[in-house]
Amino acid sequence: MAAFHSSKIALLLFLLPVLLFVLAMPALISPLSTYLLEQKMREVTAYLDTRSQAVDNIITRQLAGLRFDCGLGDMALLREPKYYSRYIRMTGVSNAENISCSSVGMPFDSEYLQAPAADGFTLKNTPRYEGTDSELMVRYQMQGNIAFWVLDSSWVWELIERDCTGCFLLSFHYPGSGIDSLERGNTAIPREQGAMLIEQEKIQQHIGQPPVVNQQQLWGGQILQEHAQALLWRWGGGGSVVFSLILAAGYHHSRRYRNTIGGLIRQSVKDEDFIPYYQPVVDSRSQKVVGYEVLVRWKKGGELITPDQFIPAAETEGLVGEITMQLLNHVLHDLEQLDKTHWVSINLVAEHVETDCLFRWLQERQWPWSDRIKFELTERVPIKNLHHADKHITALIERGYQFKIDDFGVGYGGFVYLQKLNVEGIKIDKIFIDTIGTSDAKRRVLDSIIISAHQVNMSVIAEGVETFSQVDYLAQRHVYLIQGYVYYRPMAISSVLGLPERAQGATRSQPAE
């Protein structure tokens, strides 16, 4: 039944992205068409800017070397390979004696070069012949000598027809200049219903030439929208299917992983593969160890796995209680070896105090080490039934056990636990300790927590302490019980038994185990 339910969820996860894409498809066509139109205009603008720089460079260099006599020097210059360019279709000269030559041959009919007698640069159209497009020509005249450069416009067709035939119409207008408008592309688009238009105005000017206003218009119509729709089906449809497959496969993998790790955890509980690691708590006044927090490690094969990698799965499988009891079995044995004045503190979750499982476990063992075992209630998982929790905690306190609140200030309970539960102390979370020496606003919260705890005579332990400046800051506020890398990392019982009497200066470089 569970497998059938899992398959239905996987099928739903597979179908959902595809269905959402199909439903969204009509609304996506217009935005994508607009984007394609804008992108094409950006390509046109970039091409014109590049062409302008290249043409100016060619004109400047050739003018500097032309003799206007169509001799060998002029012909060599007109046909110099380094001046061959996709931007210029033809270059030529004509002098006062009506001698002419060009990059494609000599002589040629130069009547269309005629212009007002004023010297300098002008911009004009080439003659329009049937079946051909007119192009722009840059013309230079000086003392009867003329040079000209016909700008190749074939790039326009290449650019607007690239990837999508008939999608665009590009037109250039030069108001007040005497230059004819130029138009390239699908001329039917402006008459289509819903045709899209982008306009922009640029100042077009080549070297020495008076500036000319160039009004550019780019049209997109029905064919562009059909192209956008095809792109959406190609990329969006295919992408949604791929995403659906990944989502469904990820669900199956996740479920398999959870089931697999759950099975491994369950087997490891039976094999007693969960062991305690101890992190010493040091009194900073004497630099002596006074107790330890018990931290669980999963001994899987030859490696040790930290709690963040398996506790969520253990909670899902309902195995945290069993793991804790397994740790307690180890702790009962280890306490025989530890200094008689040292205590150990064990983390509990809501399950341990909302039910009588912990109470019964300790009762069955005749209330062992009640003067040396302490319990920490984590705030990261909320206690839902505070009434039952308080009843069980009180019953254990009456047997001599003590309770603290772990990770104080970062979870669900906080001051509510202090009011509702019979606890004797708190442990300040590392997130607040890290604010020491900074301008972080949480440092004020740290000070408030310390003051509040002192006012009700609660013990305070600072965990996650990493520097001696943090130790000094806490000591100034009468917090002396320190847990953190500044003194010791978590370690196996064998390492604990070999610790020196005093902790100062002994552990900052100690490797983790």
Rg for the chain, CA atoms, rounded: 42
Q: What is the mean pLDDT of the chain?
A: 84
Average pLDDT over residues 44-60: 89
Which residues, at least 6 apart from 185, have a Cβ–Cβ distance to it below 8 Å?
156, 157, 160, 161, 166, 168, 169, 170, 219
Q: Which residues are 149's β-sheet partners?
A: 91, 138
Looking at domain 276-496, what is its CATH homologous superfamily?
A: EAL domain (3.20.20.450)
176-215 confidence digits (pLDDT tens): 777 888 888 898 999 999 899 999 887 766 666 677 778 8
391-412 confidence digits (pLDDT tens): 999 999 999 999 998 888 776 5
Q: Is the pLDDT of residue 129 over 80?
A: no
Q: Is the pLDDT of residue 509 over 50?
A: no
Give exposure, 100-112, as e/b (b: 16+ Cβ within 10 Å): bbbbeeeeeebee
Q: Is the dihedral of CA 32, 35, 41, 45 positive or negative?
A: negative
Give exposure, 146-160, as e/b (b: 16+ Cβ within 10 Å): bbbbbbbbebbeebb
Q: Is the pLDDT of residue 239 over 50?
A: yes
| pLDDT of res. 489 | 94
Q: Which span out of 19-23, 156-160, 469-473 was modeled with the highest average pLDDT?
A: 469-473
Q: Is the dihedral of CA 397, 402, 403, 404 positive or negative?
A: positive
DSSP-derived letter for residue 510 is: P
Q: Is the pLDDT of residue 114 over 70?
A: no
State residue 397 phi and psi, 5-degree precision: -60, -40
Closest by Cα among 489, 484, 482, 433 to 459: 482
| pLDDT of res. 256 | 59
* Contact predicate 405/383, CB 8 Å: no
And the tokens for 190?
A: 């402006």
Domain assignments of the chain as residue spans, ordered by start:
21-226, 276-496
Q: Is the pLDDT of residue 119 over 60?
A: yes
**ω into residue 107 within 30 of 0, thus cis?**
yes
Cα–Cα distance for residue pair 369/491, rounded to 1 Å: 22
* Contact predicate 405/423, CB 8 Å: yes
